[in-house]
Amino acid sequence: MNQRKLPTSLIVVAVLFIVGGVFAAIEVVVSLMHREININFGVLGSFIGPGLLRLSRGWRTCALVFIWIALIGVALMALLILAANHPLDFNVFGQKVGHASKAMGVIISAIVFAVALWEYRVLTRPDVRQIFSIDVA
């Protein structure tokens, strides 16, 4: 086991993946309770987070792929929100609970984009890359 102290930012990124994975799993279960099938790859965050904490190169690569997908997806989502001519549905765990304004949608998109960009920066920082490149014999 690696006895190195992990950077706090790496721990926060791992926790964010775990929390996202748990929320994705809850969404899948809620959908099943409503007799709907919901395939949510966000559930993999439950594995990515612990993989990052174990300094697994493979899970770091998976995290970076998910972050790139998020960056592209959130940017596209913000553009679609701006182009929409109708109110935005507000969902909690996949279930519609009301409407949100375009401004709120864009603000949430900007926050998610900023967090994903920060996560990318953490995982690509030289000190973090070095931690993942060390082979423990």
**pTM reported for the whole predicted model:** 0.82
Predicted confidence (pLDDT) per residue in 30-83, tens digit: 888 888 888 889 999 999 999 999 999 999 999 999 999 999 999 998 898 888
On the question of pLDDT at 1 being above 60, the answer is no
Predicted confidence (pLDDT) per residue in 98-111, tens digit: 777 788 888 999 99
Mean pLDDT of the chain: 87
Find out whether 19 and 52 touch, Cβ atoms under 8 Å. no
pLDDT of residue 27: 87
Per the rule left: phi > 0, alpha: psi between -120 and 50, beta: everything else, 55 is left
